[in-house]
Chain A
Amino acid sequence: MANQIPIVDYLVLDDGDPHLEANECTKCGALFWDRRNACGRCANREFTKKRLGTTGVVRSFAIVHQAAPGVPVPYVSSVVDLDGGGDVKANVVNIEPDPQHVTLGMKVQLTTFVAGTDDEGTEAVVFGFEPV
């Protein structure tokens, strides 16, 4: 099997048990996907890693028909409220990209797939959410 690397560091591949991991403020519990100097909510400077749920509901979406050159369209951009807390921006995948199939509040689960391969054969793994 090819070497794999997550497309972003908050996707943890864990040998077949992929999940998302946020930076959690140790004081107020606010969650962040990126590296933070301090918490935007309470200004505390310490964080811990928090493993988040892999299922959730689609809170919002847009079906993108026009994107920058080379980005395949149409695709479904969405915000998913994760079961157990937290929310994340991701594509809804494995679904017809039209408003008859994609609906607000639909239940989804995390899935992963390969987005590209570099010159050394390492695969970049991306996550999306598919209908449950």
Chain B
Amino acid sequence: MGESVWVLGASMTKISRYPEKDVVDLAAEATFNALDDAGVSIFDIQVLAAGSMFNMGGIGQAVAKQVGQTGIPIYNVVNACATGATAVRTALVEIQAGNADFGLAIGAEQMGKMGLLAGNAARDGANKFEPAGRFGGVMPVDGWLGSGTMPAVFGQAGMEYAYENDGVGFEQFAKVAQKNHEHSALNPLAQYNKVFTLEEIMDARVISYPNTLPMCCPTGDGAAAIVLVSESKLRTLSLEQQKRAVKVSASVLTSDPWSDGGESQPDVNTLTRNAADKAYELAGVGPEDLDLVELHDCFATAELIHYDNLRLCEPGGAGEFIDKKAPWRDGTMPVNVSGGLLSKGHPIGMTGAAGVFEITTQLRGEAGDRQIEGAKVGMAHVIGLGSSCGIHILEKAAL
């Protein structure tokens, strides 16, 4: 399997809107802080993987020009909402392969107020209807043949789970959002820190039922950077560096295999289950060993179904799982103690790296007010539609 890889440094900017900065500023800030945190310089880094969904076109090189152009291999990666996790894994694989001892992964995004993602505007004043494309369409179909907007797509994913399992409905989905907003009040890096009652969430403006406004993640700006090191190099570093390093016990990336029903509704379950099973196998741990999980709650409906996909609850038991408050920070399986995408924020390309930052910080015992005491093993999960799933299991292990 190649050499073990450790997180040596991690950083993220506060998620916010930064109209006075550009995406490279944000990535550079995260990079400087991650390098300082790792106790290394840009001249130590032998491979860089950088990802951004909406700021493409060689962001890795653009950042290198601002943080130090050393001529190392640079990978620019895009995998929708799994972009940041893909960057982490790309740098990690290069170290595993023996091509580098130090690697840097960056996830960065500047979205501003983009509003709804996907879907298309209605078209009027059509000149002539002519079939085009793989569906032979004559006009944009969003709104006519269902919705491709994210709140609806993930709303449907949740409702499908509700159809197949008892004890799941609007209230269970809303409870997820109540939890994550409350968690975010403890996180100074979160985009929002506002606590809502369950009633406020259920009575809020509907975006796509069952997702109301506080059940949908915001758009935002931010960057996260992770410095990775090979185990053999880590052994040569200072005791302080070794003490704060966190082992990457599993790094997994999956795509969606063909599945029945996947043509009409993106199947976000199968690839997540495949990734989780592989990650548990690689790490030699089970869900019962996890002290906390950061999972991809782009919408409240998404978090609920991932309790089941990641095997955090009994099969079919995600409704009961949230009803008994298991995923709250003082529950049996803390989920999204950062506030999650719902309130910490979700700058698309940043998110996968931000999840690794959060788990690293928790396992180091440096998470401040939001610290889960004694956390030793954690999971960071993301999914990008299309689809890609990235899972990292990190461990506070002895070197």
Contacts and interface: CB of A to CB of B under 8 A. Distances in A.
A87 B264 contact: yes
Given A32-B263, A33-B135, A66-B208, A7 B141 contact: yes
Interface string A64-108: 111111111111011100000001111100000011000011000
Given A9-B136, A66-B151, A90 B146 contact: yes
Interface residues of A, number: 55
Contacts of A5: 129, 131, 138
A40 B270 CA distance: 15
B120 interface: yes
Nearest to A72: B143
Q: Is the interface of A mostly helix, strand, loop or mixed?
A: loop
B142 interface: yes
B128 A119 contact: yes
A71 B121 contact: yes
Contacts of B116: 66-68
B232 interface: no
A104 to B, nearest CB: 4
B41 interface: no
Most buried by A among B123, B151, B156: B156
A71 B143 contact: yes
Given A34-B134, A65-B206, A104-B159, A7 B144 contact: yes
A7 B145 contact: yes
Nearest to B213: A66
Nearest to A63: B209
Given A32-B263, A105-B163, A68 B119 contact: yes
A90 B135 CA distance: 14
Nearest to A66: B207
B210 interface: yes
Nearest to B131: A9
Nearest to A127: B145
Contacts of B136: 6, 8-10, 35
A64 B124 contact: no
A33 B122 contact: no
Interface of B: 116, 119-124, 126-129, 131, 134-139, 141-147, 149, 151-153, 155-157, 159-160, 162-163, 170, 205-211, 258, 261, 263-265
11 contacts: A7-B138, A7-B141, A8-B137, A62-B156, A62-B209, A67-B147, A90-B145, A90-B146, A91-B146, A104-B163, A115-B144
Given A68-B142, A75-B143, 15 more contacts: A5-B129, A7-B144, A8-B145, A10-B136, A32-B263, A62-B211, A67-B143, A68-B143, A75-B147, A87-B261, A90-B145, A115-B144, A117-B126, A118-B126, A122-B129
